[in-house]
């Protein structure tokens, strides 16, 4: 009879993550569709409020609200394939900036969502499981 010993490995992921980030969108439905199109998973959807899930479990809380002038998001979005994400934006009729090198670990581009929210997309430099 073979008795194997199972060793439980410690969880290699970082212990902390960002729980929720929020945005206000005057063109709520179009912004909701935009965030789904770029790969966020819809968790909750009401007429003026939605929660979308990002990799790692972070949730974007999207709320309907008044129009603001070119509001930049106070966070950036990291993706594994920046060129592919930018091409997806172009195919969707959006006008992302060209990809630029930041001089650091990221390449990046920016795009404005249907509510005028300026989003900064960067290349990923994640190390290990997240």
pLDDT tens-place string over residues 67-116: 877 779 999 999 999 999 999 999 999 999 999 986 677 899 999 999 99
Q: The CATH number of the domain where 73 resides is what? A: 3.10.180.10
- Rounded to whole angstroms, the Cα distance separating 70 from 67 reads 9
Whole-model pTM: value is 0.84
| 87-102 CB burial, b ≥16 within 10 A, e <16 | ebbeeeebebeeeeee
Within a domain: residue 51? yes
* Confidence at 47, pLDDT banded by 50, 70, 90: very high
10-39 confidence digits (pLDDT tens): 888 788 889 999 999 999 999 999 999 999
The position carrying tokens 């998973």 is 41
Place of tokens 């989003």: 119
In a domain, residue 13? The reply is: no
In a domain, 55, yes or no: yes
- Residue 77 tokens read as 């979005």
Residue written as token pair 């959006």: 94
Question: Domain limits at 48?
Answer: 20-123
Q: What gap in Å lies between CA 18 and CA 4, rounded to an integer?
A: 38
Q: Between vectors from CA 51 to CA 48 and to CA 55, what angle results, nearest 5°?
A: 155
Alpha helix ranges (H) inside 1-130: 28-37, 82-91
Whether residue 50 is contained in a domain is answered as yes
Q: How far is CA 83 from CA 41, 57, 77, in A?
A: 21, 24, 14
Asked whether residue 97 is assigned to any structural domain, the reply reads yes
How many domains does the chain contain in total? 1
């Amino acid at each position: 009879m073979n008795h194997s010993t199972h060793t439980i490995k410690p969880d290699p992921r970082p212990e902390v993550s960002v729980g929720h980030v929020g945005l206000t969108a005057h063109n709520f439905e179009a912004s909701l569709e935009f965030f789904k199109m770029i790969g966020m998973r819809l968790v909750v959807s009401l007429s003026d409020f939605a929660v979308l899930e990002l990799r790692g479990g972070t949730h974007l809380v999207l709320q309907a609200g008044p129009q603001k002038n070119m509001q930049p998001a106070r966070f950036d979005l990291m993706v594994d394939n920046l060129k592919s994400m930018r091409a997806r934006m172009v195919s969707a009729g959006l006008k992302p900036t060209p990809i630029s090198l930041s001089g650091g670990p990221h390449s990046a581009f920016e795009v404005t969502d249907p509510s005028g929210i300026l989003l900064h997309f960067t290349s990923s430099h994640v190390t290990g499981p997240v």
